[in-house]
Amino acid sequence: MATLEIKDLHVAIEGKEILKGVNLSINTNEIHAIMGPNGTGKSTLASAIMGHPKYEVTSGTIKLDGEDVLEMEVDERAKAGLFLAMQYPSEIAGVTNADFLRSAINARRDEGNEISLMKFIRELDATMELLEMDEQMATRYLNEGFSGGEKKRNEILQMMMIKPTFAILDEIDSGLDIDALKIVSKGINKMRGEGFGALMITHYQRLLNYIEPDHVHVMMQGKVVKSGGADLAQKLEAEGYDWIKEELGIED
Ligand code: ADP
Ligand code: MG
Ligand code: MG
């Protein structure tokens, strides 16, 4: 089992404090969902975990199996097993999707232990079939001219091929129609298991109808203010966030 542990994390953007002490612990074999109103710092948390340079960690810790993630460069974080949907460049001129994927997989492997071309192609074919992706998506240039839905599906393809220990999926459901949402969910559910944990950030409970989370957290004003099981997401869908604000005495 691996653990991603965030303790009292404070993050500022351009000198303004956005995260004000986030505590969160995720194990492999668990799917956590973070919900919360707009602008409460959910995406900031995702970016801080992945080491986006604009997000300054002013205090607190992020540890992956006891290793200090904050000391790692972005590529080291990926190598250590963290994956953020959208962490990869939106377009790379002249690099096909398949080439990109193969080098991303090999970047996590030691020299001399690269994935064989045959194995790569077999896995790529099978995964694209599962995600109901058109074959020619593999040979197209990365993200060039991909529709919104194709990009999202491609992010799940990347995740499934790279096989991270922890995936951070920020609004993976946004802009997907119901059929695409089901397919993307199928891919994420297929990853569930011993060697994999996920943090799904979403506005809507809809995604959680297809991927049942083990834990649900509510983020408000830069903190995780409430945690519960899948039923918490249902209550939020039905009743919104006001009852939590009242319970905790939070003012808008
Ligand atoms: P959420 O994902 O919960 O909607 P965000 O993490 O995107 O919230 O944003 C939290 C706050 O940080 C907002 O007030 C937003 O305006 C601000 N913020 C986020 N990213 C940036 C940025 N790159 N530059 C300046 N302010 C930002
Ligand atoms: Mg937002
Ligand atoms: Mg966001």
The residues with which 61 forms a beta bridge, in sequence order, are 7
Cα(1) to centroid(ligand 1), Å: 32
Phi, psi for 7 (deg, rounded to 5): -125, 125
Could you give the ipTM of this predicted complex? 0.93
Residue from 13, 35, 204, 223 whose mutation best tests the ligand 1 pocket (most atoms within 8 A of CB) = 13
Q: What is the pLDDT of residues 141-197, one digit of tens each?
A: 777 778 888 888 999 999 999 999 999 999 998 888 899 999 999 999 999 999 999
39 close to 219: Cβ distance less than 8 angstroms: no
Position of tokens 């992945």? 50
Least confident of 83-92, 110-119, 188-197, 243-252: 83-92
Give a three-class secondary structure readout of 34-87. EECCCCCCHHHHHHHHHCCCCEEEEEEEEEECCEEHHHCCHHHHHHHCEEECCC
With 0.80 as the threshold, say if the pTM is over it: yes
Domains of the chain: 3-248 (3.40.50.300)
Q: Whose CA is closest to atom 1 on ligand 1?
A: 39
